Structure 1
């Protein structure tokens, strides 16, 4: 029994991590903090926790300028992702905003084709067309009937997907350097640099960093410590030890659960056509994520 549990531990870690991260958009919506402020506290609280973990594990925090500035670049792109995604959550809700942000799967694939000479497969083309069709089923009715904020929310979700794509490439770059930072140290630097950029963004745009209510401290602490740091630690440690096909399917839990939490917690009105569109889009994201 113990051997079986140890064998399945990586799978359980990724399952738990994806489940925790699925609550990220819910914490943003529950909190009354301004969108950029919520991002500041996510990466600040999470970054401090990751830094503490790095110190406890006695990880090196300096492995040269390339490693540091690579993590800093990832932090900058993650800042953009937070700015766009949090506003999208406020405009279209946590479920749809998270679903659209996961279109980064197709942008990563497109970048692979354009910059790394990867082959364009029929499967990839089919998954992109299917995802767009599913998204159309979700947003078509509200696109025509609602105010401009809804349309802005959809477009901001796509910008979040683009920003997250750049973040993933920058993060991957830090992981393949000849001399690289350990996992906790790398994520801590990325998070704290992102917190700095988000603070600058809030200052420039005139957003308040105040935490409006005492209960918002709880939501933002959960967002930073549980969703950000613990969720990604679990995924980062378990993912390398399970097959890619399982990884793609499990990580699909994140937008799926976010959509479900939106319906259950915020009573998101969802028609049968919208539900069908969500299922089609999620299936297409899975096809795009798990390539041969």
Structure 2
């Protein structure tokens, strides 16, 4: 999973926490690569990410003796974030296959602007001075990456761009509902709640995939290895590293380190899948990342 969440500010930034945060973001950048390598339908890869990842998370909680009884209230609280995350993966995995993991990962990170707007409208959180300039800079970068070549794209590629942006909207629903559930509404730890939500999401994705006529049988070792890696690195290890590091780091540094995810995803897309990339694409990437960073900076202290 991508871990685009808020962190509390602290005066010091321990090197170990910076390392864990950077490693977690780097691991997240690999998730799109595994979606491509799995060579299965996008909903199928999303299903196995949540099934494998949720099972691993709950096993980790149980082995650590942190298990808390799961009640129907917990299940009900997990339904909305599960639905939001399911839609996010349905849109994002298609975008990955149709426009490439680099651009798809960048597109979904535009959700930071939606999160900031919701915080301003619903929670009276102050927007940073860089919010509007950040939007302008990020959109300029996005235009260089996709807008300037729009007439050259086929219909599927264009749809992939819109789905990448739509995944950011769905992810915003997930983040808000997930954060609300953990704000005193459930006794489950964050890891156990995420594991529960992941398995509920797997059920929803299974139903969606069956409705599309997808087959969920994994026929090769490549299918298994790529999807197990997707679940472990994207849904478990990266999350555990980052959630441990975030409370020890200033929010501005968290936002900067999180940009490693789309940046590395783009670089890996170029190196592994030979994405055609001109100088204007690199400039567009830099502008989009700079704009996203500006959009995350706030004068007020972010909520955890």
TM range, smaller chain? over 0.9
Are 1:81 and 1:159, in contact at CA under 8 Å, matched by a contact in 2?
yes
Q: Does 1:84 align with 2:91?
A: yes
In structure 2, how many angstroms separate the alpha carbons of the residues matched to 1:256 and 1:68? 35
SS at match of 2:77: helix
CA apart distance, 1:195: 0.6
When you count helix as a share of all residues, which structure comes out higher? 1
Query: Aligned residue for 1:68?
Result: 75
Offset at residue 65 of structure 1 (A): 4.2
Output one character per residue of 1:171-202: Cα deviation in whole Å (capped at 9) or x when no partner: 11122125431122111101111111110110
Q: 2:221 aligns with which of 204, 214, 217?
A: 214
Distance apart, 1:9 and its partner CA: 2.1
Which deviates the most, 38-47 or 213-222? 213-222
Aligned residue runs from structure 1 range 1-292, under 5 A: 7-62=14-69, 64-292=71-299
* Superposition deviation, residue 168 in structure 1: 0.5
Paired residues of 1:248 and 1:289 also in contact (CA < 8 A)? yes
* Residues in 1 aligned to 2:184 and 2:128: alpha-carbon distance in whole angstroms: 29
TM-score of the two chains, using structure 1 as the length reference: 0.94
Comparing 172-181 with 279-288, greater Cα deviation is found at 172-181
Unaligned runs of 5+ in 1: 1-5
Q: How many residues align?
A: 287
- SS of residue in 2 equivalent to 1:20: helix
1:3 is aligned to: none
Q: Structure 1's 122 and 243: CA in aligned 2 closer, same or farther, altered over 3 A?
A: closer
Paired with 1:11 and 1:79, the residues of 2 have a C-alpha distance of 30
* Aligned-residue offset at 1:269: 0.5
Asked if 2 retains the 8 angstrom alpha-carbon contact of 1:18 and 1:231, the reply is: yes
What is the SS of the residue equivalent to 1:268?
Answer: coil
Counterpart position of 2:10: none
**Are the equivalent residues in 1 in contact too, given 2:68–2:187 (CA < 8 A)?**
no
Partners in 2 of 1:170 and 1:184 — Cα distance?
Answer: 15
Contact 2:138/2:288 (8 A) holds in 1? yes
Q: For the Cα contact (< 8 Å) 1:88–1:156, is it kept in 2?
A: yes
**TM-score normalised over the length of structure 2:** 0.90
1:212 and 1:274 map into 2 onto residues whose CA distance is: 37
Q: Deviations over 1:3-51 (max 9, x none)?
A: xxx9422222111111111100000011111000000110111111001
Query: 1:88, 1:157 within 8 Å by CA — same for their partners in 2?
Result: yes
> 1:210: Cα distance to partner?
2.5
Conservation of the 8 A alpha-carbon contact between 1:67 and 1:177: no
